[in-house]
Amino acid sequence: MKILHLDLGDRSYPIYIGSGLIDQSDLLKKHIAGQRVAIVTNETVAPLYLAKVRVHLDTLQPLDVILPDGEQYKSLEVLNRVFDALLNAHCDRRTTLIALGGGVIGDMAGFAAASYQRGVPFIQIPTTLLSQVDSSVGGKTGVNHPLGKNMIGAFYQPRAVIIDTDTLDTLPDRELSAGLAEVIKYGLIRDPEFFSWLEHNLDKLLARDAETLAFAIHRSCRNKAEVVAADERESGVRATLNLGHTFGHAIETGLGYGEWLHGEAIAAGMAMATDLSRRLGWLPGADVTRIEKLIRRARLPVRAPGALSPGRFLELMAVDKKVQDGRLRLVLLKRLGEAVVTDEFPRVELEKTLMTMREAA
Ligand code: NAD
Ligand code: GLY
């Protein structure tokens, strides 16, 4: 097992990464303070892993909260079912919530923990590659709104993140690829050495080589923990973690949640941000080729869906948390391994990116 620490003063917490960690009773139990526990999961993950987590908590009579599976259920309406369950079971402020699942469950359980009785402790047990390398770390929680992705939420840190790499054994290939989008992101925004490592090791990752996956998860979490420790509430550098997200969120909202996977939309969004960075004269064509090639090799899209016109894209992109005083800000690449957040790009160049970086309709 490897342990990283996210350094946030009195809200610091460990990130455990290793094989078989959900079978380690003490690891989970030492982060539970009170006598009540609720496990929030979904109908796909529950039959796979709920019993394995539950067995450690039998004396605490854990409450199971099993939600429907899918990005389309990451909503206030479905979140309310968590509150219904907690209230029906008379859960008090010392109840610990455990998020068992991918990023959808982690974001929803985290937001439930942030708001139930104004805040109860929670623990992340992420079970998708995407949630293990990104969403379980850093305390962004929330739900979607029909008008915008992740628009309702809170910053709220977990007490611990327990990453059992064995859970990836049951993850479908398409979901593994979606997680690789966020892995590639770290190479692009701040870790060029990792980008080169990914070019050399992508086939092993796709083949689920355990050691290679564990390295990529650890390196990704290290990158994320460093950025979040420097800027927990996204007043500066943390926004660079959103490379491709303004484009990607527009795709997710525009197509309807769940049509493209989050990681797929981010992959296309990163290719679009790369294209715009080239148009601004920041990235050479050779780097654009390298970036697109790696994303494609990860079996991810590098073009937006043709169904979204540039005009519609611009409308959707206007609903973004990085918009300030009505001005759209984007994460772009100054070079491979260095990202900036900027509103200084000619609108016409953005329109060219939107026009050219789409699949045929
Ligand atoms: P997800 O949670 O929908 O999980 C993907 C699918 O895999 C689901 O069908 C799920 O039931 C299934 N699954 C989960 N674990 C499994 C396992 N071990 N074996 C088999 N199937 C399994 O999607 P995701 O990609 O994990 O997360 C995407 C979400 O994360 C989006 O809502 C996105 O906005 C959010 N996100 C949040 C942050 C953050 O910082 N909070 C960062 C990135 C993404
Ligand atoms: N996934 C972006 C962030 O956590 O800031």
Structural domains in the chain plus CATH codes: 2-170 (3.40.50.1970), 189-356 (1.20.1090.10)
Question: How large a percentage of the chain has pLDDT more than 70?
Answer: 100
pLDDT band at 87 (very low <50, low <70, confident <90, very high): very high
From the CA of 266, the nearest ligand is 1
pLDDT, residue 97, reads 98
Please tell me the predicted confidence (pLDDT) of residue 47.
98
- Buried-state track 190-214, b at ≥16 Cβ within 10 A, e below 16: bbeebbebbeebbeebbeeeeebbb
Of 249, 279, 329, 358, catalytic: 249
Over residues 214-230, mean pLDDT? 98
Active-site residue, selected from the candidate residues 77, 88, 90, 118: 118
Whether 191 shows a pLDDT value over 80: the answer reads yes
From the CA of 43, give the closest atom in ligand 1: 11
Q: Is the pLDDT of residue 296 over 90?
A: yes
Q: Which residues contact 318 (CB under 8 A, 6 or more apart)?
A: 328
Is residue 150 annotated as part of the catalytic site, yes or no? no
- Work out the end-to-end distance of the chain between its first and last CA atoms, rounded to an integer number of angstroms: 47
Mean pLDDT of the chain: 96
Mean pLDDT throughout 200-217?
A: 98
Q: What are the distances in angstroms from CA 109 to CA 67, 97, 106, 120, 299?
A: 10, 7, 5, 11, 30
74 is catalytic: no
Q: How far is the CA of 55 from the centre of ligand 2 (A)?
A: 32
pLDDT band at 360, cuts 50/70/90? confident
48: pLDDT confidence band, cut at 50, 70 and 90?
A: very high
Please tell me the number of the ligand nearest to residue 223's CA: 2
Ligand 2: which of 130, 134, 149, 232 to mutate, most ligand atoms within 8 Å of CB? 134
Give pTM, 2 decimals: 0.97
Q: What is the pLDDT of residue 321?
A: 76
Q: Identify the residue whose C-alpha is closest to ligand 2 atom 3.
A: 241
Catalytic residue among 42, 144, 223, 242: 242
What pLDDT shows up at residue 148? 87
Q: Out of 68-72, 96-100, 210-214, 321-325, pick the least confident.
A: 321-325
**Binning pLDDT at 50, 70 and 90, where does residue 325 land?**
confident
- Average pLDDT for 93-98: 97
Ligand 1 binding pocket, CB closer than 6 Å: 42, 44-45, 48, 69, 71, 74, 101-105, 107, 127-128, 130-131, 134-135, 138, 140, 150, 167, 170-171, 175, 178, 262-263
Q: Would you state the pLDDT for residue 326?
A: 78
Residues 152-164 have a mean pLDDT of 98
Closest CA to 4 of 240, 189, 229: 229
Q: Of the listed 36, 149, 185, 234, which one is catalytic?
A: 234
Does 332 have pLDDT greater than 80?
yes
Tokens representing residue 186 in the block: 């770290």
pLDDT of residue 68: 98
Please give the distance, rounded to the nearest whole angstrom, from the Cα atom of residue 15 to the centre of ligand 1.
18
Ligand 2 centre to CA of 115 (Å) is 20
Q: At 61, is the pLDDT very low, low, confident or very high (cuts 50, 70, 90)?
A: confident
The H-assigned helical ranges of the chain are 25-29, 51-54, 76-88, 103-115, 129-130, 173-189, 192-206, 210-230, 245-255, 262-279, 285-297, 310-317, 347-356
Q: Which atom of ligand 2 is nearest to the CA of 224?
A: 4
Ligand 2 pocket (Cβ < 6 Å) reads 134, 138, 140, 238, 241-242
* Mean pLDDT computed over 204-208: 98
Is 29 labeled as catalytic in the residue annotation?
no
Q: Residue 122: pLDDT above 80?
A: yes
